[in-house]
Amino acid sequence: MSYSQQSVSLELDTDVSHQCFLHHTRDEHLIGIIEFNKPSYILKWGDLEYFRRRT
């Protein structure tokens, strides 16, 4: 079963590109998803763990 996502926008003054989505769960919670991309830099799992702990 797939979940629906709604695209939203966020304007930032940076060279990092991003996509933002809002996700509604089956129990009607709202989750914000932000995907970041910078072609000259590749994130590693340790970087993602750092971001997760900082938010």
Digit-by-digit pLDDT tens for the chain (55 residues) are 567 777 777 676 778 787 888 888 889 888 888 888 888 777 677 766 766 666 5
Would you state the pLDDT for residue 51?
Answer: 65
Would you state the pLDDT for residue 53?
Answer: 67
User: Pseudo-torsion of CA 9, 14, 16, 17, nearest 10°?
Assistant: 30
What does pTM read for this prediction?
0.42
- What is the token pair recorded at 1? 């079963």
Q: How far is CA 23 from CA 16, 48, 52, in A?
A: 22, 20, 18
Would you state the pLDDT for residue 55?
Answer: 56
User: Hey, what long-range contacts does 43-46 have (CB within 8 A, 24 or more apart)?
Assistant: none
